[in-house]
Chain A
Amino acid sequence: MKNNLWNILKKELRELFRDKKSLAMMLVIPIFIPLLVIGMSALFESQTNKSVEEFNHIGFAYSLSEEEKQIAKEMKLDVVEGKEQELEKKYQNEEIDLYVTKEENHYIIHSDGSDTSSYATTLVEEYFNLYKQVLQRQYLEDRNVDANEVINAITVEEKVVEEENFFANYIKNYAFLFLIMAITVSATYPATDTTAGERERGTLETLLTFPIKSRDIIVGKFLSVTTSSVITGLISLILAILSLAISKELFSIYEGVDVMYSMTSIFFAVIIIIVYSFFISGLCIAIASTSKTFKEAQSALTPLTFVALFPGMIAFMVGMNTTPLLSIIPFLNYTLIFTDINNGIINGLSIFLMIASTIFYIALVLGYIIHQYKSEKVLFAK
């Protein structure tokens, strides 16, 4: 009698581990993490290491001067001369990457917004800068002015103080975001099964006739879903670490940089996984318990996957920094704090606020579900 919370948890876990769909959600979802991490790395690599031969076919609707030809040769441009209509046709047939027309001293670059076209535009802009310099030099020399003194009046040098690999940070943070998404997806099925599913199967009525407090029923269900989420989270973390290690070996963009999580990052990642699992399990159970059927619960929980993903994604994109306020905003706080930790910033206040606010949200959500289970609506909501 006194251990009915344990009895419910035992029953829920037994059901969870014997149900093929629940097991699949728990174990299969993390497999997507290596696919996403390695896939994204491959995409970065293909974008970064684009060979100049892939976007150097430039059409000129006028005859190039000797100087222009020389610059084009040095820049390895594949020059295609012709009339504007011919070049337009070639451009449409993707024989050239862009073409340039000329009206006296005004040059027009014709291109679209595609990746190849953008690369080609950058190349041609550089070509015109060099050509401008040649013309300026000629102009100054004709007037007996030292061109070097004017053109190189100032010099600029870039000195990298600290080697930071954009892609390495990006992939490490995204791997964690995928992990959060995996936990969210995997929590939805057991949460639905244990609430709306149990009602649909008719076993909830049986459960409610037992001498068990509603609180024990809810907390037992909540802990079983949390257990499943933590397992998914930990498997995902292991797979994320492995896939980062594989990516480092496979892709040259990570050469010479640290693409692995530090031990501190891993330690805090485990803490965040546990805290987030508690949070998302409570939320999923709350949503699912208000649904009349299994199907309705699944439909209600589907948007949660996107809700879990987007705040973190937007935070990465706009380069959001963690503040005390953001530390208590669910979904956003977990990814922001992990990003900080990944960057070597351990903000005790933010971590405390994240944990404290999560405990508050869980208490709120559990209180709501217990209230729901005391109401007969939960059993007969049809």
Chain B
Amino acid sequence: MIQVKHVTKQFIRNKNKHQKESFYADEDLTFDAKDGEIIGILGPNGAGKTTLLRMIAGILEPTSGTITFDGKKYQENEIEIKQNIAYLSGNTKLYDTLSCYELLKMCCDIYGISEQDSQKRIEEISKILKMEPFLYNKIANLSTGQTQKVNIARCFIHDPKYYILDEATTGLDIISSQIILDFIKKEKKRGKTILYSTHYMEEAENICDRVFMIHKGKMLRMGTPKEIKKETNTTNLRDAFFQLIGGASDEE
């Protein structure tokens, strides 16, 4: 189980040429994600989703608050936690000079997967994601969709317990997106914990058990899609979101 308690992230930015100011990317966020659950992190661009997921993935450190994985904190168990995490975002890029196979093999080596199991895992993932035709091609020569598939493959290769997916289907065609969504559903059934950030509200409604709505770094609502729709008296999460922020989008 992932537990996020009162997590705040403060950044310093330039106000003008001579002055700096602090701002909160995320402020006092609290939620949990149980085993076998898909939690949707929903919000518009700039809502603080990526910062939140980066903190959960251990790339950023919260200014305050705690994040635990089955009760374990990064401060004491960083390597053990990262060993069980798969983190994927639109910002995570791959090594252009490597082939897909070389990248996946490197990931297997890093995660300590044996030679024999590595081959098996690479074959398995390539089959699921339909990567066989370009498995030995250099990443630099792949299309956006193919690259995203490789990115997803490197996340799944070590059979992690926790998935932290930030806009995982961005750049993929409808078929590839469906492959990812099916894979996520399958992993959920295997008891994996999945945090799934997206700005496609319909997609979230389809696959998430609960959603965590976030806007301008603050929590709007947490609950099942059904509960949120009922509470806001709407028929879909998109309308529910606008209802919660008090009308039309005021995105900056």
- Name A's B-contacting residues (CB within 8 A): 1-4, 7, 10-11, 14-15, 18-19, 201-203, 205-206, 208-213, 376, 379-380
Contact = CB atoms under 8 A, between A and B. Distances in A.
A276 B106 CA distance: 31
A211 B93 contact: no
Interface stretch (B107-115, B229-237, B240-248): B107-115
A210 B95 CA distance: 14
A346 B83 CA distance: 52
B93 A206 contact: yes
B59 A1 contact: no
Given A4-B110, A7-B110, A209 B57 contact: yes
A320 B213 CA distance: 71
Given A202-B93, A203-B93, A209-B57, 18 more contacts: A7-B110, A10-B106, A14-B97, A201-B96, A203-B94, A205-B89, A205-B91, A205-B92, A205-B93, A206-B154, A208-B59, A209-B85, A211-B79, A211-B80, A211-B82, A211-B111, A212-B82, A213-B79
A380 B97 CA distance: 24
B58 interface: yes
Contacts of B58: 208-209
B91 A202 contact: yes
A294 to B, nearest CB: 14
B87 A209 contact: yes
A202 B95 contact: no
From B57, B61, B93, residue with most partner A Cβ within 10 Å: B93
A203 B95 contact: yes
Contacts, number: 71
Of the four ranges (under 10, 10 to 19, 20 to 34, 35 or more), the interface on chain B belongs to 20 to 34
B60 interface: yes
Given A14-B98, A211-B82, A206 B112 contact: no
A379 B57 CA distance: 14
Contacts of B60: 376, 380
A380 B82 CA distance: 20
A4 B107 CA distance: 10
A211 B91 CA distance: 18
B106 A209 contact: no
Contacts of B159: none
Interface string B69-105: 0000000001110110101010111111110001000
From A203, A208, A379, residue with most partner B Cβ within 10 Å: A208
Given A11-B106, A18-B97, A376-B60, A210 B91 contact: no
A3 B154 CA distance: 19
